[in-house]
A and B are shown apart, each in its own frame.
Chain A
Amino acid sequence: MNFTFRNKRISGMLAVVPARELKFLDEMKNFNAPEGRSRKLMETMGYDRRRLVEDGVCVSDLAVFGLQQLFDRGLLKKDEIDALILVTQTPDHLLPPTTNIIQGRLGLGKDVLCLDISQGCAGFVVGLIEAFMLLEQEEVRKVVLINSDVLSRKASPKDRNIYPLIGDAAAITILERDPKPSVIHATVKMDGARNETLIIPAGGMRLPCTPETAQLVDVGDNNLRAKDHLYMDGSGVFNFVQTEVPGVIEEVLKRSGTPIESVDYFLCHQPNRFMLQKLADKMKVPHSKMPNNVVERFGNSSGATVPIAIMINLAEKARGSGFLACLSGFGVGLTWSSMLTRVEQLAFCEMIDFA
């Protein structure tokens, strides 16, 4: 589906990452594979360090910490917020919505619309689309979008397919009307026929958690995983990204009449370095225009990786005269998305540690 928005903008971004840092070299012993193979994997995929929450830390904890910082520093006022959107795969509970928990803990007004969206790695663009749609309403002045996951709590430490790449984080993005004339194009595509490519089989109503679903099983390649854990068909995801994502990026460029050379940066979801390099090669985009260094420093934190890519590579430009960005996410659903927008004059664009 295609979207066009006028006179909307991103006005600030803050990411909250856990203070706890794990190093891949220290974790190698957990994976039932020879050290040499793990080291080669590390070099290719870009695994190095990542940030994980401590036991018991939830998405609402990261979000409340970040929003409270913004309030304390005068960067956001409680009574400016008209809607709170949270994109997550790891809510605090099955119910109530985690946004209601955040609203209650922060003492936000009862007129604040609270919306949880079940999306993951494509969720930054999906969340932006929802926020911009809300801003079409005259009464809505400012929307807070939170992309947050604590997927490390649902990944098997004995699964080399998943565990070394996962990171936890929350990205808080503020959206409002743009006083200047501006146009934003976006495209989202979904394919539910491939919904089992990324799945946590147990924990919902279809297969509630039981002692049996918690049992680790040898799933091949010396990996151990339970049905309570996140499963990813790595080859399926890789092929999906290389096949589908270029098209959804070309779609927004075509609709906006923007030559690919005119895009300053392609800020894509950050699954691993290798996948992004191959994507850039396929699209004939210089690697320097498609940053791929989030996983090596913070891990793959699902929908928060695009904002983090902006913060660690382009914060100064984002606070200043800005750049033309093609944002793109891809993941669970399957879902893949893109958005062409300028990112400029942000009131804040930074990262803080959750402690």
Chain B
Amino acid sequence: MKQLADILKEIRPEFDFTTSQDFLADGMLDSFDMVTLVSTLDKTFGISIPGTDIVPENFQNLETISALLRKCGVQA
């Protein structure tokens, strides 16, 4: 979870991602940030997050992103 928070911090350094439950509603991530995040996660964990899973509900908070990573075979 900390590694994930660090990755998010690198994309949007101005926010603290450990305090929000809805990154998109809180204006911390936009659709392009989601794309950047997916690309970074793919490279970091050696996976390819399916395009059909790149939907807002999977990027709401650290828990939903962690669940997505687990679904893609990443050990949390």
Contact = CB atoms under 8 A, between A and B. Distances in A.
Interface in A15-53: 37, 40-41, 43-45
A278 B50 contact: yes
From B12, B32, B36, B50, name the one whose CB has the most chain A CB atoms within 10 angstroms. B32
B36 A243 contact: no
Contacts, number: 56
A261 interface: no
B30 A278 contact: no
Contacts of A41: 32, 35-36
Contacts of A234: 31-32
From A161, A220, A274, name the one whose CB has the most chain B CB atoms within 10 angstroms. A274
A282 B51 contact: yes
A278 B30 CA distance: 19
Contacts of A281: 48, 50-51
B76 interface: no
A221 B35 CA distance: 15
A351 B67 CA distance: 47
Contact of B35 (A45, A220, A239, A282): A45
A348 to B, nearest CB: 36
A40 B34 CA distance: 11
B51 A279 contact: yes
Contacts of A239: 51-52, 54-55
Interface string A272-284: 0011001101100
Query: Binding site of A, secondary structure by majority: helix, strand, loop or mixed?
Result: helix
Contact of A160 (B12, B32, B38): B32
B36 A275 contact: no
Nearest to B53: A242
A234 B30 CA distance: 11
A216 interface: no
Contact of A221 (B12, B30, B52, B56): B30
A262 interface: no
Interface in B9-54: 11-12, 30-36, 38-39, 48, 50-52, 54
Interface residues of B, number: 18
A44 B51 contact: no
A242 B50 contact: yes
A235 B32 CA distance: 9
Contacts of A282: 50-52
Contacts of A279: 51
Contacts of B33: 37
Nearest to A41: B32
Contacts of B52: 239, 242-243, 282
Contact of B54 (A40, A221, A278): A278
Given A242-B54, A281-B51, 4 more contacts: A37-B36, A221-B30, A234-B31, A274-B39
25 contacts: A37-B32, A37-B33, A41-B32, A41-B35, A41-B36, A44-B35, A44-B39, A161-B32, A220-B30, A221-B31, A221-B32, A234-B31, A235-B31, A235-B34, A235-B55, A238-B54, A239-B51, A239-B54, A239-B55, A242-B50, A242-B51, A242-B54, A278-B50, A278-B51, A281-B50
Interface of A: 37, 40-41, 43-45, 160-161, 220-221, 234-235, 238-239, 241-243, 274-275, 278-279, 281-282
Interface of B: 11-12, 30-36, 38-39, 48, 50-52, 54-56
